[in-house]
Chain A
Amino acid sequence: KNEVEQSPQNLTAQEGEFITINCSYSVGISALHWLQQHPGGGIVSLFMLSSGKKKHGRLIATINIQEKHSSLHITASHPRDSAVYICAVRSWIQGAQKLVFGQGTRLTINP
């Protein structure tokens, strides 16, 4: 079993729909990251969370430390939101803070 599990692996929706991507983890963490990767490869950090909730524009990220679960929500989705969304947890491993990644959720928003 992976230490970080994301669901769903693939998600297709119509423009305007409310999107939820889930992330569960099994290791102790100091923070959780949500990352976005567009075709072409570059990764952009969307959020870093250690508790509660953060909002940036149409994106909302929440984390429940007790349940070891985080969600990324997109309101009023748009085709430009199409990307791979990656959950990663920051954990102390071998004396350094390292990221452990989920496998990613490929989101496609159709016009």
Chain B
Amino acid sequence: DVKVTQSSRYLVKRTGEKVFLECVQDMDHENMFWYRQDPGLGLRLIYFSYDVKMKEKGDIPEGYSVSREKKERFSLILESASTNQTSMYLCASSLAARVVGYTFGSGTRLTVV
């Protein structure tokens, strides 16, 4: 069964901490995405990557960075966590060229105190 795995289901971090959210997929997908989900706002794209070492800003990249050193791993980095980054974070992956479905991870609920 193909999977997108996010390393943590729940995280609590302090304001100012550097936070790493990890996402690993085992499907050899080219595209990987990081979203955040907030009540009333739906899912919003933070960053995406369509190849190793490639990254593109999504709709709300401010306060975040990403790293994709290997095809299967896409990391989201909060350089200095703030309370307004408290949210559900979802990773997804997809094949580049074929019209196939996305696969989502189970999400990481991050609370910044």
A interface residues, Cβ below 8 angstroms from B = 30-31, 33, 35, 40-45, 48, 50, 86, 88, 90, 94-99, 101-104
Contact = CB atoms under 8 A, between A and B. Distances in A.
Contacts of B37: 41
A103 B38 CA distance: 9
Contacts of A102: 42
A111 B40 CA distance: 27
A41 B102 contact: no
Contacts of A44: 104
A45 B103 contact: yes
B106 A41 contact: yes
B31 interface: yes
Interface of B: 9, 31, 33, 35, 37, 40-45, 48, 50, 56, 58, 88, 90, 92, 94, 96, 99-107, 109
A33 B43 contact: no
Contacts of A43: 90, 92, 104, 107
Contact of B104 (A30, A31, A42): A42
B56 A96 contact: yes
A30 B99 contact: yes
Contacts of A50: 99
15 contacts: A33-B101, A41-B9, A42-B104, A43-B104, A45-B101, A48-B99, A50-B99, A94-B56, A96-B48, A96-B96, A98-B45, A99-B92, A101-B42, A101-B43, A103-B42
